[in-house]
Structure 1
Amino acid sequence: MKNALLKLTFCLVFLISSAGIAQALNKKSLTSELGKTEGISLDAKQKSSFDKANNDLVTGLFDLDKKKLPQADRDSKIDGLFDKRDKSLSSSLGADKYTDVKKKTDKNIKQLKRKVKLAKLVL
């Protein structure tokens, strides 16, 4: 019984802390996290395309959040928005530069996607 209560307590603490971290996502912090290129230099045109793809993603996420969809539908639409960003970056940056950026930012993007799925986005 003591072990069950301890495990339940840890689960509740984890869920509360995850939700608390995820709820801190707003438009500015989300855009900032997406804008990190992890040391990959982009010229002005590439940087503009990178910023546009990120802004389109953020706008799509906030529009999606207003729709009040069931969690499974919301998660699949979030995945679709991130895939759309990847396609946009691939075409605008070129295959080589996109591959470099993806290698450096993939871990951060996966964590961010997980946070977005848990979060209620706020302006």
Structure 2
Amino acid sequence: MSNESLDNFLSGGRRGEFDWKRRYTIVSDIASVILYLHELWGQCVVQKDVKSSNVMLDSEFNAKLGDFGLARLVKHNQWSQTTTIAGTLRYVAPECAVTGISSSELDVFSFGAVVLEIDH
């Protein structure tokens, strides 16, 4: 992607190019992807690693979510038991770190952490 990852953009000294319209577009794009994965597709896809370094920005600053290496298919409104914690720790919901249970709520928590990074 021409603007690399959101993480590189935020930490690379280009934060000044982030007006509120651009921030809103990025947040909306990520939210749309998560909605599609959790609710609109046939099965629920829990990405399990939503973080700023997995959000790619194209030339128009449209956000694309990538790196589905940890993703799991689960039935809608069900949890998935894991034996190990997956994902980047600062983006993992505390209850998942304790219980090892992941669900779509895990991605929503991680999305909130990304929104805070964008707003910071």
Q: Does TM, scored on the shorter chain, surpass 0.5?
A: no
TM normalised by structure 1 equals 0.32
| Rg larger for | 1
Name the structure with the higher strand share: 2
Name the structure with the higher helix share: 1
